Amino acid sequence: MVNLEFYLQHYNYWISVLLFMIGLYTMIAKKNLIKKFLGLNIVDTSIYLFFISMGDKSKAIAPIIHGEHVDPTHYSNPLPSVLILTAIVVAIGLTATALSLSIRIYEEYGTLNSEKIEELW
């Protein structure tokens, strides 16, 4: 029997999977190069969501020591957030590279449609 409650409790992962699929579909189905890249950004966002939601829990506080002692179980896990911050910085570099490349592609080919670019190759 399918344990429905178990699946409903982890709805954050379902959202992440859904976003991942939407992003992949966009990358494959869309012809416009910028839309393809936006699909990639959606894929990345779904992964960020996956990481962030696995590190968080309800009513948790930021893990910063402010003098008085707090029970460590009240802290949310900081490591996924740190990792995702790094991944976001990396994604910004990637986005800048991709957008500048697409500007150059538009200047050279006069279009951003991937099929037309293949014809003009």
Q: Which is nearer to another protein, 6 or 121 (CB)?
A: 121
Sequence-distant contacts of 4-12: CB under 8 A, at least 24 apart: 12/49, 12/50, 12/53
User: Which amino acid is present at 53?
Assistant: S
CB of 4 to another protein, least distance (A): 18
**Which residues are bridge partners to 113 per DSSP?**
32
CB of 52 to another protein, least distance (A): 10
8 Å CB contact between 61 and 70 = yes
CB of 29 to another protein, least distance (A): 13
The Cα 20–Cα 55 span in angstroms is 19
Q: Which is nearer to another protein, 71 or 118 (CB)?
A: 118
Binding region for another protein (CB under 8 A): 20, 27, 33, 36-37, 40, 43-44, 47, 50-51, 54, 62, 64, 79-80, 83, 85-87, 89-90, 92-94, 96-105, 108-109, 117, 120-121
